[in-house]
């Protein structure tokens, strides 16, 4: 898959402090790319470089294989972390103004805004002043303005931070739909909720460096450890535990069940397959649960960051 955006070895210094150190990322066309990392990692700095708000001290950015230039700004929809709307302007007036700045005619802007305001059920906000809106409400308006001109690249810096869970979910679904309609999406977050359902690619930034990047499925494959969570029905719990413990790497597992089960996590060596384990277990007990343990992005995030301390 071709890349829509490529950052090569970007470095950014603020005085003696290096906010970004040789960071490269590749964002495939049509993907949702999660830029993950703790507070202060350098995510916003990288996003500001991509949006040509700051220049990198070293490195370069390519959009569709072209070196980034001012004309590319219209190809990018950007929701900044510091959401800035004019507080005393009315919602509709301001949305129309911003839409026209992005090159839409007034008529087009009105039509598209109507569509989005209807969709979000906020038509009655049109004549309110921005200062009358809560943070989350204003953020919804800004989200609309960001996507309205249908740019090929959308960049959301911490898009969920001002939202309650219900509205965060609305935004998550919209991001998925925008991707399905052909946009490429980059979003940053320091919180791992939503990442699993949204991203197909991630990059993990920590202390100004990229420490992990890839397709979510590949990253998970790399971090899984051939471990299976099993639930067994037996009338010889202790005996079976000992037998299995002699043969495999076994620890007790903790999951909710409605009946009494022997609950275990079993890690296999590279030479043993899940089928072999299942065959062995089914001779000894009734197997009522058999799941491969796949690490969550949150677990991978914490593990990788802790190891990089
Ligand atoms: P993140 O978005 O991952 O939380 P940022 O990119 O905002 O992190 O910041 C990375 C680091 O760079 C932080 O330590 C921040 O204080 C510093 N930084 C960002 N912008 C500036 C600036 N304009 N001047 C000085 N330091 C800055
Ligand atoms: Mg930030």
What's the CATH number where 172 sits?
3.40.50.300
Residue 308 inside a domain? The answer is no
Same domain membership, residue 207 and residue 229: no
Residue 35 inside a domain? The answer is yes
Same domain membership, residue 74 and residue 18: yes
Q: Whose CA is nearest to atom 7 of ligand 1?
A: 44
Q: Whose CA is nearest to atom 20 of ligand 1?
A: 45
Same domain membership, residue 130 and residue 274: no
Residue 299 inside a domain? The answer is no
Number of domains in the chain: 2
Q: Whose CA is nearest to atom 13 of ligand 1?
A: 40
Residue 132 inside a domain? The answer is yes
Give the model's pLDDT for residue 135: 85
Q: Of the residues 14, 37, 157, which should be mutated to test ligand 1's pocket, given the most ligand atoms within 8 Å of the CB?
A: 14
Give the model's pLDDT for residue 180: 97
Same domain membership, residue 248 and residue 190: no
Same domain membership, residue 136 and residue 14: yes
Same domain membership, residue 166 and residue 39: yes
Same domain membership, residue 78 and residue 197: yes
Q: Of the residues 45, 204, 207, which should be mutated to test ligand 1's pocket, given the most ligand atoms within 8 Å of the CB?
A: 45
- Give the nearest ligand 1 atom to 158 CA: 2
- Give the nearest ligand 1 atom to 188 CA: 2
Residue 34 inside a domain? The answer is yes
- Going from the Cα of 137 to the center of ligand 2, the distance in angstroms, rounded, reads 20
Residue 303 inside a domain? The answer is no
Q: How far is CA 235 from the centre of its chain?
A: 45
Same domain membership, residue 284 and residue 203: no
Q: Whose CA is nearest to atom 21 of ligand 1?
A: 14
CA contacts within 13 A on the Cβ side of 180: 7
- Give the nearest ligand 1 atom to 15 CA: 25
Same domain membership, residue 231 and residue 204: no
- Going from the Cα of 20 to the center of ligand 1, the distance in angstroms, rounded, reads 9
- Going from the Cα of 161 to the center of ligand 1, the distance in angstroms, rounded, reads 17
- Going from the Cα of 228 to the center of ligand 1, the distance in angstroms, rounded, reads 41
Neighbours of ion ligand 2 (CB under 5 A): 43-44, 81
Same domain membership, residue 256 and residue 153: no
Q: How far is CA 146 from the centre of its chain?
A: 18
Residue 104 inside a domain? The answer is yes
CATH number at residue 273: 3.30.70
* Backbone φ/ψ region at 9: left (φ over 0), alpha (ψ -120 to 50), beta: left
Same domain membership, residue 278 and residue 192: no
Q: Is 37 in the pocket of ligand 1 (CB under 6 A)?
A: yes
**Extended beta strands in the chain, E state:** 3-14, 17-28, 32-36, 58-63, 66-67, 76-79, 153-157, 184-189, 201-206, 209-215, 227-233, 249-252, 262-267, 286-292
Cα separation, 245 vs 104, whole angstroms: 67
**How far apart, in Å, are the Cα atoms of 199 and each of 105, 175, 181?**
33, 10, 16
Question: Based on the number of CB atoms within 10 Å of its own CB, is 55 exposed (0-12), middle (13-18) or buried (19 or more)?
Answer: exposed
Residue 57 inside a domain? The answer is yes
Q: Which residues of the chain have pLDDT under 50?
A: none
For residue 234, the enclosing domain spans 225-293
Among 158, 187, 221, residue at a domain's last position: 221
Same domain membership, residue 210 and residue 121: yes
Q: Is 20 in the pocket of ligand 1 (CB under 6 A)?
A: no
The position carrying tokens 């998925």 is 176
Q: Is 270 in the pocket of ligand 1 (CB under 6 A)?
A: no
């Amino acid at each position: 898959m071709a890349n829509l955006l490529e950052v090569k070895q970007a470095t950014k210094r603020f005085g003696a402090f290096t906010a970004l150190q040789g960071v490269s990322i590749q964002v495939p066309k049509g993907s949702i790319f999660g830029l993950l990392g703790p507070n202060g990692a350098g995510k916003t700095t990288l996003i500001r470089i991509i949006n040509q708000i700051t220049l990198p001290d070293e490195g370069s950015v390519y959009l569709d294989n072209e070196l980034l230039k001012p004309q590319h700004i219209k190809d990018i929809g950007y929701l900044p972390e510091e959401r800035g709307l004019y507080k005393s302007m009315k919602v509709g007036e301001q949305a129309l103004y911003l839409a026209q700045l992005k090159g839409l005619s007034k008529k087009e802007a009105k039509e598209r805004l109507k569509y989005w305001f209807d969709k979000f059920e906020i038509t009655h906000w049109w004549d309110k002043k921005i200062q009358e809106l809560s943070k989350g409400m204003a953020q919804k308006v800004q989200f609309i303005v960001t996507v309205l001109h249908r740019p090929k690249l959308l960049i959301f810096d911490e898009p969920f931070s001002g939202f309650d869970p219900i509205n965060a979910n609305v935004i998550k679904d919209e991001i998925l739909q925008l991707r399905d309609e052909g946009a490429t999406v980059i979003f940053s977050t320091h919180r791992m909720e939503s990442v699993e359902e949204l991203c197909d690619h991630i990059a993990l930034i920590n202390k100004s460096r990229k420490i992990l990047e890839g397709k979510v499925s590949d990253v998970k494959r790399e971090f899984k450890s051939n471990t299976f969570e099993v639930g067994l029905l037996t009338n010889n719990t202790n005996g079976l535990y000992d037998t299995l413990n002699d043969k495999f790497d076994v620890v007790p597992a903790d999951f909710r069940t409605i009946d009494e089960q022997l609950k275990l996590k079993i890690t296999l060596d590279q030479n043993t397959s899940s089928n072999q384990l299942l065959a062995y277990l089914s001779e000894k007990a009734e197997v009522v649960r058999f799941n491969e343990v796949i690490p969550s992005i949150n677990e991978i995030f914490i593990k990788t960051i802790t190891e990089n301390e």
